[in-house]
Amino acid sequence: MTAAAFNPSAESPAKIRVTDSTLRDGSHAMAHRFTEEQVRGVVHGLDSAGVEVIEVTHGDGLGGSSFNYGFSAVDDVKLVSAAVDEATSAKIAVLLLPGLGTVTDLRMARDAGASVARIATHCTEADVSLQHFQAARDMGMETVGFLMLAHRIGPDELARQARIMVDGGAQCVYVVDSAGALVLGDAQARVAALVKEVGAEAQVGFHGHQNLSLGIANSVLAAQQGALQIDGALCALGAGAGNSPTEVLVATFERLGIPTGVDVQGAMAAAEDVVKPFLTRLPFADRGAITQGYAGVYSSFLLHAERAAERYDVPAHEILQKVGEAGYVGGQEDMIIDVALQLAKEKEKAAG
């Protein structure tokens, strides 16, 4: 039996482009402390394995280095320059969240050699990205739209937001499961709705998290629905319980007969020999991370909740549960402290 026989749907499946986000989403897990040496090592490993796009930015995107999100050890632009210098064929991507990063930040990243602009908004707020897509296209960058916390709205509404991004200049729009809360059919239906709405003009992508351990499974379903760009991270290094591990993604896709152009041995070597040795924290579905998937909480909130838990002596998972109930969105890290203070106050009251 050939590998292709595992694939129940396509006759000759389309090639998937894997974007590796170890050096962006993984920045959350590393508390934004990546060094230039680590960036060079990861880029070299991924580029050698044939990964076509490598994202390098503070976890919260350009301009993310701050009190609220954590200061970068090394400036984004410097890390982008190093990545561009190290890559022989991979394109370097950067993330930008409108309201946080600006077109000025994007221009600096482009000048440092970044060629893919990934513009991320909360899933209902696509129209704040239009000036950034326009600027990115004017600068000759490839554009990708990121609809974050995609579980918060239904497939049709998400597709309408994707339409806004595509009309504004996005060449691909991702279903971004920022909370790792999409369970199989939820991911499938959203990708299908986007493919139906914008598939004739733009590609569709999927960005998964492992909070409910479904990153890979959701990515496979996404590919089967016509997604052509899929995100991963080596050793799953990302926010919450991490992202779909790139090395598992490419191995799984190969077994399904879906071409990615990435060498499985090369990806596994990059994960094992380059990333694993510098990890300070192995992404894992612990109580906090599972709560994020279960309650639909932005994965990047995990470390912030742990810090607030320690500072104010309240459980991290209770903070995350409350944050989910309040409906806070990506970027509202300050509200974690606010919630922790409320919980501490309640605890004090209960104690008498």
Compute how many other C-beta atoms are within 10 angstroms of the C-beta atom of residue 282.
Answer: 11
Torsion sign (Cα): 89, 98, 243, 280: positive
Q: What DSSP designation does 121 have?
A: E
Establish if 327 lies at the interface with another protein (CB under 8 A). Answer: yes
Establish if 112 lies at the interface with another protein (CB under 8 A). Answer: no
Q: What DSSP designation does 273 have?
A: I
Phi, psi of 93 (to 5 degrees): -105, 155
Size of the site for another protein (CB under 8 A): 32
Query: How far from 83 is each of 18, 115, 290, 299, CA to CA, in Å?
Result: 17, 12, 33, 25
Which range, of 64-72, 215-223, 243-251, 264-272, touches another protein by CB under 8 A?
64-72
Establish if 66 lies at the interface with another protein (CB under 8 A). Answer: yes
Q: What DSSP designation does 64 have?
A: -
Residue with tokens 């806070």: 328
Least separation in angstroms between CB 270 and another protein: 28
Establish if 124 lies at the interface with another protein (CB under 8 A). Answer: yes
User: Coil, strand or helix: which one is 87?
Assistant: coil
Query: How far from 319 is each of 91, 177, 305, 316, CA to CA, in Å?
Result: 38, 20, 6, 5
Establish if 331 lies at the interface with another protein (CB under 8 A). Answer: yes
Compute how many other C-beta atoms are within 10 angstroms of the C-beta atom of residue 136.
Answer: 30
Least separation in angstroms between CB 265 and another protein: 38
Least separation in angstroms between CB 117 and another protein: 14
Does residue 319 contact residue 311 with C-beta atoms inside 8 Å? Answer: no
Which range, of 87-95, 182-190, 242-250, 325-333, touches another protein by CB under 8 A?
325-333
Which range, of 127-135, 172-180, 258-266, 283-291, touches another protein by CB under 8 A?
127-135
Which range, of 35-43, 67-75, 109-117, 315-323, touches another protein by CB under 8 A?
67-75
Options 122, 190, 209, 317; binder of another protein; rule CB under 8 A:
122
Does residue 210 contact residue 322 with C-beta atoms inside 8 Å? Answer: no
Options 71, 255, 281, 287; binder of another protein; rule CB under 8 A:
71
Nearer to another protein, 197 or 333 (CB): 333
What per-residue string of b and e applies to 321-330 under the rule 16 or more CB within 10 Å gives b? bbbbeeebbb
Spell out, one character per residue from 261 to 280, where the chain touches another protein: x when CB under 8 A holds, - when not: --------------------
Options 36, 85, 127, 272; binder of another protein; rule CB under 8 A:
127
Phi, psi of 72 (to 5 degrees): -70, 145
Options 35, 131, 315, 347; binder of another protein; rule CB under 8 A:
131
Query: How far from 250 is each of 125, 209, 347, CA to CA, in Å?
Result: 32, 16, 47
Which range, of 21-29, 124-132, 207-215, 224-232, touches another protein by CB under 8 A?
124-132
Nearer to another protein, 3 or 326 (CB): 326
Establish if 329 lies at the interface with another protein (CB under 8 A). Answer: yes
Least separation in angstroms between CB 66 and another protein: 5
Least separation in angstroms between CB 309 and another protein: 15
Phi, psi of 240 (to 5 degrees): 65, -135
Q: Which residues bind another protein (CB under 8 A)?
A: 63, 66-68, 71, 73, 98-100, 102-104, 122, 124-125, 127-128, 130-131, 326-335, 337-338, 341
